[in-house]
Amino acid sequence: MPGGLEGVRGAVADFHRRGVRVYIPFTPWDTALGPVNGTTDPAHLGHALRAIGADGFNGDTMTGIPYSYFEAAVHATGVPPVLEPEDAIEGSAGLAWTAASWNYGFQTGDVPLVSKLRLLEPRHMGHVCNRWATNHVRDLLSAFFNGLGFVAWEDVWGLYNPMRARDAELLRRISTIQRHFGAAHDGLLRSHLFEPFYAHYRLGSGSAPPATVSVAKFANASSGRALYAIVNNASLASARRTTSTLVEGTAEGTDEATDEATDEAEALVELEISRLDDTAAVALSAPARRSASVRPDGTLCAAPYRYYDVYRGTELSVIQSYACARDTVCDVVRVRVEPSAIGAVLATRAPLDADDEHLLRTMRTLTATPLSAYPAEWVGPMKQQIVEDGHSSSSLRTKPHSEAAAAAAAAAAATAKLVSLSEGETFTFEALGMEIEDGCCGDDYMGGYYNGFGVDVQYPWEAAPRRDHAKTFCGPNASSASELPPFHLDATPVTNGAFARFVRDGWRPTSSENLLKHWEGHGKHRRPKDGSEAEPVRWVSLEDAREYCAWRGAALPSEIQWTLAAQGADHTRGVPARTYPWGDGAPNASLVPTPQLRPPFTPEAVGQRPAGASPYGVLDMAGLVWEWTSEFVDERTRGAVLRGGSSFQPSALDQYGDNWYFPGGAPYTRSATFIEFAAQYPGWGASKYPFAYSTRAHSKLLLMAPSYDRSGAVGFRCATRADE
């Protein structure tokens, strides 16, 4: 990470100063690259928590976290950690040491689901998660109803899936209320007196699925306070003008259908609230005890409580009080709740403190604008743009920067291969992203889950980021605007020896963490290890690779250029050429290097397998090292396309049988595109690595910072224009 360990520790401290807790991500399936020096996963994580001051970890793919992790973290830090498995805990024993969990599946139906873990352990912090959703109303209402958190996950592995403006505002209002009552002195949201469905009733009647209003109660008898969380499940698309009076869990009223949500579509909820002291008395069961709210003559005492509409920041008037059951007195208050939204009522005997008053002022400001004023349309994924698209980039016309650079350029040019289309030839560019989880937004958007848009890239001719890409390019003098100019491409990836000349010529990166980790020495004295000069250079970021190519008067090839060099022109128009750079035969030892399954990874020297050459004579385009090509950006994220695959191929299956180092698993068989490719590529089964060798496969690396992007399995080569 940028700044190394000290930088990460400083970032954690900055979050803590702002009241934000920090998790370490933990990938338990990472057994091939896992703990070093003989340490166990629990001990390794405990040491990491102590080193950076983090508060706990999120366990990817885990449905429970063994006690050994908790014990090791306490031993290392002296503080109980926050452990959070990705999914809800299986069983209940783990609640004793597992403080949080993700909660999937809370977004179904018109009635909120109840969190079992919340009932069993009120201090357990669940987080409702639904990363691919385009409408988060059900997620947010269920989270509020249960006093749970919400994972506001918009940047999903480099694809920005923005929340609707209305959902974002609803989340702002929910989090404002929850953070107050979670941190308040009586900790209402942590109270064991959690009563889901304190009230629940239907709005309206008729054959259409009924809209419902549900109320959950969070109480603290000792402080004399209770929070009533109200959710109105009425759909925005079919909101009903309804006036409902809640009487012992039923609703009476009238309804009138309307085509759109308006202020008039709010549910008018008359909520009867048992006075807390009476409720406590009944619960403690003194059978002969007469309610303190009832005088000896049977008349009702004045309400000892005050009630507040927390959502709107106002005090409520009691519109009715009556003896509702067993000498228990109920007060009735009235609140309006917007459709597909929340309400909140605070009942309290004690005066409001300064923090309570501040909350009410904040909520008055937030709710002055109704939720209906915020757009409820999903705007689609954030659009991406390509950066430095090599076949049209002016950077290919730069000149070498020095005599050493000119000599390096001349040496590369002596072996570079001309890649071009002849007049009348076509080249069908096809690429399929290999991300293990890629789809978004269901089967109704752009052709379905696995053929729709996802965590890949967006080319200029596409409407949104998507996984599969295709376009036909033409040779010279074509009437089409999709002409692909000729270019020269390095015959092999750039070597350690070639990059060393760049370093000796005075290059200094802006960031040096993880730079050339496989070399010896430091700074300007850094050099390749003896005997490794002909191996591909690695541990270089996209920026490092660009600066080297520019020094030589060249540029990185675009993915389209790289693919043409690997695949060749179409056999016939519109029919892609080679399956692999060498042809259509299965990979073997004469074509690609022998895979290495465990670190440390040391690739072989370049140019060792001439039988694996592409149609243009370009070498090492499959199975040596991944290669940097095109970059794609949106307003929030950056990502680069990697091509060619690597001979470093770790493998470790999780509990579902998926190899998370590389795509695998049953879901991909649901895609017609993958079924087609499965028949073409040998090894399409337990191992998916051979697919990376194909001319129609790419991977995407989410860019964070040069120090983080550098990898021991990624190198590059350069391209120059052929018309100079």
* pLDDT, tens only, 312-338: 999 999 888 887 766 677 888 999 999
- Model pLDDT, residue 659: 66
In a domain, 620, yes or no: yes
Note if the pTM is more than 0.95: no
Mean pLDDT of 208-229: 85
Residue 391 is predicted with a pLDDT of: 38
Give the span between the Cα atoms of 210 and 282, in whole angstroms. Answer: 34
Average pLDDT rounded to a whole number, residues 617-621:
97
Of 24-33, 207-216, 256-265, 449-458, least confident by mean pLDDT is 256-265
Look up the domain containing 201 and give its range.
185-373
Given 373, 401, 436, which residue is the final one in a domain? Answer: 373
Q: What's the mean pLDDT in 361-384?
A: 94
Q: Provide the number of structural domains found in the chain.
A: 2
> So what's the pLDDT on residue 133?
86
Q: Are residues 472 and 540 in the same domain?
A: yes
The contacts of residue 330 (CB under 8 Å, 6+ apart) are 272, 273, 274, 275, 321, 322, 323, 324
Query: How is the beta sheet containing 240-247 ordered, strand by strand?
Result: 250-257, 240-247, 267-274, 328-337, 320-325
Among 347, 373, 399, residue at a domain's last position = 373
Residue 8 has pLDDT above 90, yes or no: yes
Tokens of 414: 């002596």
> Is residue 360 domain-shared with residue 243, that is, in the same domain?
yes
On the question of pLDDT at 245 being above 60, the answer is no
Q: Are residues 364 and 397 in the same domain?
A: no
Read off the pLDDT of each residue in 144-166 and give the average, rounded to a whole number: 92
Determine, yes or no, domain membership for 66.
no
Q: Is residue 113 part of a domain?
A: no
Q: Indicate which CATH number applies to the domain containing 546.
A: 3.90.1580.10
Please give the pLDDT value at position 284.
24
How would DSSP label each residue in 9-27? HHHHHHHHHTT---EEEE-
**Confidence class for position 285, pLDDT limits 50, 70, 90:** very low
Q: How far apart are CA 83 and CA 77, in angstroms?
A: 14
Q: Are residues 713 and 681 in the same domain?
A: yes
Q: Please indicate, yes or no, if residue 366 is contained in any of the structural domains.
A: yes
DSSP 3-state assignment of 199?
strand
358 and 411 inside one domain:
no
User: Mean pLDDT highest for which of 189-203, 215-229, 301-315, 572-586?
Assistant: 215-229
Per-residue model confidence as pLDDT tens digits over 88-123 = 787 788 999 999 999 988 766 778 889 999 999 999
- Same domain for 366 and 399, yes or no, is no
Residues 547 and 661 placed together within one structural domain of the fold:
yes
Which spans in 568-688 are helix H? 672-680
| Weakest-pLDDT range from 18-32, 208-222, 356-370 | 208-222
Element (H, E) at 45: helix 41-52
Task: Note whether residue 80 is domain-resident.
Answer: no
Residue 91 lies in a domain: no
What is the pLDDT at residue 481?
62
Give residue 289's pLDDT: 30
pLDDT top residue among 64 and 254: 64
Residue 587 has pLDDT above 60, yes or no: yes
Query: Phi and psi dihedrals of 427, rounded to 5?
Result: -135, 115
Rg (CA), the chain: 31
